[in-house]
Amino acid sequence: MTRIDNKFQELRATNRKAFIPYITAGDPNLKVTADLILALERAGADIIEVGVPFSDPIADGPVIQRATERALASRTTLRDILRLGAEIRKTSQVPMLIMSYYNPLLRYGLENLVLDAAEAGFDGILASDLTVEEAGPLLAATTEVGLNTVFLVAPTSSPDRIRKIAQTSTGFLYAVSRTGVTGERQELSTELRDFLKTLRCHTPIPIAVGFGVSLPEHVQAIWQEADGAVVGSALVREIEKHAKNGNLAEKVSEFTRWLKGTTT
């Protein structure tokens, strides 16, 4: 049982749903990232996705692309992010998921990566461009050390691929709310409910919904149908907006509470 598994178990026992923010590590620098992770936890984040900057973020929209550029400009590496995790673990047990493209993971070396990630206190890995058919080496490595391996599943996936992805993902299943890249939207897909019902037929593990989640009503609507809501671009835009202010962590906390519909 990872911290992710335990968190969802705890939430289910108290009839609550997960709020899962994404931030790009190193945007604007790693010291600020550490402050933001702790601020997000205090504001009510249940699981935090820690993004690894990569030079070709093909699944991301312009907001996260700009965050990636800033993180790369601050020379943030995967090894730095693992050290960051170890620092966070000195004061926090918030569940953390490494979210990356596959190339940085391969370059690091999968066996070394999972060992170092587990030792640093991370709970799982999501490689956003890794297909389930090609995931054998990563699955073997994460299983060996007890990390979750989270997969994305899209509405356009075939029934056979939906079944395969749903039965392979551990920790939770990341349901993409719509086609296209990450980014803020005014409305969620009208087909989301049916998509989630299909996923439920294939797996008992928690399902979290992301891509385009940017308003409190989005979060509330997703919580009615799924186990967790993932917010990325809207939060990263807030970081971009206040990056040069001395009260960035406070602004991010306020925004998180607004999205969750809480005031404390």
Domains of the chain, by residue range, sit at: 3-260
CATH class of 3-260: alpha beta
Does residue 87 carry a pLDDT above 60?
yes
Known active-site residue 123:
no
Does residue 180 carry a pLDDT above 80?
no
Catalytic position from the list 5, 27, 49, 238: 49
> What is the C-alpha separation between 40 and 43, in angstroms, rounded?
5
Catalytic position from the list 46, 60, 227, 238: 60
Known active-site residue 87:
no
Q: Using H for helix, E for strand and C for coil, what is the string for 15-42?
A: CCCEEEEEEECCCCCHHHHHHHHHHHHH
How many other CB atoms are found less than 10 A from the CB of residue 48? 23
What backbone torsions phi and psi does residue 204 show, to the nearest 5 degrees? -90, -5
Predicted local distance difference test score (pLDDT) of residue 262: 83
**What is the pTM for the complete model shown?**
0.93
Q: Please write the tens of the pLDDT for every residue from 39-77.
A: 999 999 999 999 999 998 887 889 999 999 999 999 999
Look at phi and psi of residue 109 and say left if phi exceeds 0, alpha if psi is from -120 to 50, else beta.
Answer: left
Given a contact cutoff of 8 angstroms between Cβ atoms, the answer to whether 94 and 119 are in contact is no
